[in-house]
Structures are given as structure tokens and as C-alpha cells.
Amino acid sequence: MTTNNSIFGYLKEVVKSAKYLAQGFSVTFDHMKRRPITVQYPYEKLIPSERYRGRIHYEFDKCIACEVCVRVCPINLPVVDWVMNKKSKKKELRNYSIDFGVCIFCGNCVEYCPTNCLSHTEEYELSTFDRHQLNFDNVALGRLPTSVTMDPSVYALRELAYLPKGEMDPHDVDKLASREGIDWFTKEK
Amino acid sequence: MTTPSVTSVRDLREASCGPVGPQVTTDLSENIIMTSLDDLHNWARLSSLWPLLYGTACCFIEFAALLGSRFDFDRFGLVPRSSPRQADLLIVAGTVTMKMAPALVRLYEQMPEPKYVIAMGACTITGGMFSADSTTAVRGVDKLIPVDLYLPGCPPRPEAIFDAVIKLRKKVMNESVLERGKQQQTHRYFTVTHKMRRIDSQITGKYLDAYANLNQLPQNDNQQLNIRLPEGSRQVS
């Protein structure tokens, strides 16, 4: 009787461990049918979110040289080079520059600019071999970057928060499908 | 004027940025190995840039995002190393303080040649938001170690680090073994012949001695306080 009992107990243990093995492997096999979530960076790029604070864009013609951007900047970074025209009693803007090696992209200047001549772009690939190339003058600040969605060499991917409900893979998502929680076309929640 | 649609702009760009030049050479270069030993050597080096896991602040959080499967920097041959003796690339992620500076220089000097440095984030390029009034931040790690690539951002996106790595790979590809002597930085440390003079410290510690002996404190009003006051100070009677 005792041997019979021990054999039965052993078989019970075998079945139990097989169940745990199957449970563990079910997780593994579940992952096998998924696509890797890796963003293949130079070929695929994530579309930065709509309020992404990238490199600052500046419009020289709109600027009134009020220096509000300098005052709200935590480190007084923007350089506003203006002279007073004594004849017309108006400020004449000569140059404007921001050093992105120092800028912390906080967006205070963009927020407080009274004429909206400052704005954030979605550009973030700014690395240079020379530190002084990071000091952008008004011409460099006025350039617009190539948008990820406009670049033919790049497959643009939506970030996870911009995918439709229940969707995790951005590759095969319908371009017109709205994100979860909002309908982009009727603008209704 | 109507704005062109996104797809039409894409098509236009695609048509205008195709390969220009004789097609034969492109076919040839894609199928036959046309290279020198230098190129082979550089190709081997650039495809295995092993970075040192160096992080002192929030930039490392973005750098750590690269380690994960979302961005997966092993695709670029970047294998994280915890020892500077096995690393080729130092990505300085995070603020470097005066106290950390000797350790950073030591880590850099322990790395074997050829070595590369990416200064990641505003703090390491110029001191960033600490550049104005901090008492401890180093204003740019290029005052301590030679920097190959400056990567701005506070902190930069993980993709921006990839962009920096790709640009660094371009630099590595252009190097030659024969020109290695020329590539060495001659002025490693930023020094100017300054005109500062050494003066004695104003902090002598004398003010601490003033009340150190409790017996000198007046016990009652009749006793005089026996403290030598600094010269020129007004005696209160």
C-alpha cells in the first residue's frame, strides 16, 4: 500500500510541475507571436508629441526686442542685440541668439513671448562636433526642421499614447485612426 | 496658395533625393569589397563602441532607456561596460561637480586608447542651468577631458543619443591608423596664463577662539570681559 501511495504521490507531483512548466511557457509563447517593440531608430522614428519641447524656432521679423525671454529664462540665456534708434525712438534689433549648449528647453521664453516669435520645433538631433556650433543665431534659429512625417527616408511611428484603444503595435495602425479617448475628426471626447 | 499634402511633399522629396551619379559605380561598390585595411579596422571599431556606464544625474535615466528593448542600443554594437578598462566610449551623462571631476578624469584615463567622449546634456557641455550661479558645477566637461561630440538637451531624448552615436561612428570611420598621432589633442586642459596672485586666507579661525574658554566669560557685572578685540573696533563701555 505504501509503495502504491508513494508512486501516486510522485505522479501527482509530476503533473503539478508540468502544469507550472506549461504556465511559464505560455507566457514565452505568447510573446513569440508579438512583434518586437523596438523602434529601429534611423529608419523608424517616433513622432514627437504635439507639445514636445524641442529646438526653439525664432522669427526675426516678429520680434520687438522686449527682452521678456531673457527675463523669464532661468539663466538669462537669449542674447538680444538691439540699439536705440534716436531718430525714430524705436529699438532696432540687430541680432538674436540662443546657445543650445546651455538651454534647458524649459519653454519659459516661448510661453511669455508677447509676439509669439518664439516656438518649439520637434527637432532634437542637435549633436555637433564643436560646442560653438550649438550657439544658434537668428538665421539658424529661423530654420525649420524636417518633420518626421514629411521625411521620405523615415517610417514615422506613433508613440504609445497616440495609438487607438487596445493597440500596442504602431506599425500597422491606420493613419486616420484616432487615438484613444478623443475623435480627431469630430473633436469630441 | 494651397499647401501641398504630406504625401505629395514626401513624393517630391523622394524623387529629388535619389542617388545621383553613374549607376555603374554604385553597383560596383555595393557588390565588390573595395576597401583598405584602414576602413576594415575602422568598421570593426565603430561597430563595437562599448560605452562605460557613467551617469551622475537625470541624463542617465534617458541613457538607461537605451538599454531597454524599446530603443535597444545593442543594435549599434554598444555593449554597456561597468569597467573603464573595457570601454571605448564615455557618455558623460549628468552634472559633473568639482567633487566628481577627479573621479571622472581618472575614469577617462583608465580607458584604453582609442577612446571617445560624448558630452550628454546641457550640464556637461557648458554647465547648463548651473552655469550661472552654482558653486560646485564644472562648466563643461571639456575643461577636464577632451570631448568628441556635444549632445545638447536637458536631458536629450534617447533617439538623440542614437543620433550622437551615429555621428561619432562617422568620425571613427574617417580616422586612419597612420594619422593617429595627429588626432591626439594637444591642449587637453583649458588653461590660460592667468594673472592671479596668491593671498593669505581671511579665514584664520580666530573668531572661534574668542569664547572658547568659558572661564573667560564674565561671571557677574563687576568682572571685566578679558577678550582682545580686533584693532580699530570701538570699545563699548
The nearest CA of chain A is from the CA of B30 a distance in Å of: 19
Q: Tell me if residue B161 falls in helix, strand or coil.
A: helix
Is A176's pLDDT higher than 90? no
Angle at B168 between CA B67 and CA A46, to 5 degrees: 50
State the pLDDT confidence band at B188, using cuts at 50, 70 and 90.
Answer: low
| Average pLDDT value for chain A | 90
- Tell me whether A129 touches chain B (CB under 8 Å): yes
Three-state DSSP state, A82: strand
More confident call, B223 vs A172: A172
Kindly provide the ipTM of the predicted complex, given to two decimals: 0.83
Within 8 A by CB and 6+ apart from A70, the residues are A76, A77, A78, A80
B-interface mutation test, from A104, A127, A155, most B Cβ less than 10 A away: A127
* Range from A50-64, A138-152, B33-47, B143-157 carrying the lowest mean pLDDT: B33-47
Q: Is A49 on the interface with B (CB under 8 A)?
A: no
**Measured torsion, CA atoms of residues A90, A94, A100, A102, in degrees rounded to the nearest 10:** -70
The answer to whether the CB atoms of B129 and A104 lie below 8 A apart is yes
Q: Check: CB of residue A170 under 8 Å from CB of residue A37.
A: no
Taking residues A99-112, report their average pLDDT: 94
Averaged pLDDT for residues B76-104: 93
Report the range out of A32-41, A120-129, B24-33, B214-223 with the highest average pLDDT. Answer: A120-129
How many angstroms separate the CA of residue B70 from the nearest CA in chain A?
A: 4
Beta bridge partners of B202: none
Confidence check: pLDDT of A188 > 70: no
Whether the link from the prior residue into B155 is cis, omega within 30° of 0, is: yes
Task: Please judge whether B71 and A75 are an interchain contact, meaning their C-beta atoms are less than 8 angstroms apart.
Answer: no
Give B192→chain A minimum CA distance, Å.
19
pLDDT of residue A144: 92
**What gap in Å lies between CA A29 and CA A16, rounded to an integer?**
20
Q: Which of B7, B66, B126 to mutate to test the interface with A (most CBs of A within 10 A)?
A: B126
Comparing A7-11, B76-80, B198-202, the range with the smallest average pLDDT is B198-202
The three-state secondary structure class of A136 is strand
Q: How confident is the model at residue B228 (pLDDT cuts 50, 70, 90)?
A: low
Segments of A39-150 assigned E as strands: 44-46, 56-58, 79-85, 90-99, 118-120, 135-136
Cβ distance of B11 and A104 shorter than 8 Å: no
Cβ neighbours around A59 below 10 Å, total: 16
Cβ proximity of A109 and A69 under 8 Å: yes
Q: Is the pLDDT of residue A105 over 70?
A: yes
User: In chain A, which residues have their Cβ closer than 8 Å to the Cβ of B157?
Assistant: 48, 124
pLDDT top residue among A5 and B111: B111
Q: Quote the pLDDT of residue B204.
A: 76
Q: How many CB atoms are closer than 10 A to CB A155?
A: 14
Phi, psi of A98 (to 5 degrees): -130, 130
Grid coordinates of A144: 525649420
Is the pLDDT score of B234 beyond 60?
Answer: no
The predicted structure's pLDDT at residue B186: 56
| pLDDT (average), residues B136-146 | 91
Q: Which of A37, A41, A130 sits opposite B159 (nearest CB)?
A: A41
- B103, three cell numbers: 573621479
**Neighbour-count burial of B67, counting CB atoms closer than 10 A to its CB (0-12 exposed, 13-18 middle, 19+ buried):** middle
**Which residue among B11, B75, B128 places its CB closest to the CB of A104?**
B128
| Binary contact (A75, B6; C-beta < 8 A) | no
Query: Is the pTM higher than 0.80?
Result: no
Instruction: Say if the Cβ atoms of B150 and A128 lie within 8 Å.
Output: yes
Span A110-137, pLDDT tens digits: 999 999 999 999 999 999 999 999 999 9
The predicted structure's pLDDT at residue B3: 74
Query: What are the chain B neighbours of A105 within 8 Å (beta carbons)?
Result: 153-154
Residue B197: band (very low, low, confident or very high) from pLDDT cuts 50, 70, 90: confident
**Which residues of chain B have a CB within 8 Å of the CB of A99?**
126
A124, B151 in Cβ contact below 8 A?
no
Q: How confident is the model at residue A36 (pLDDT cuts 50, 70, 90)?
A: confident
Cross-chain Cβ contact A127/B14 below 8 Å:
no
The whole-angstrom separation of Cα B126 and Cα A100 is 10
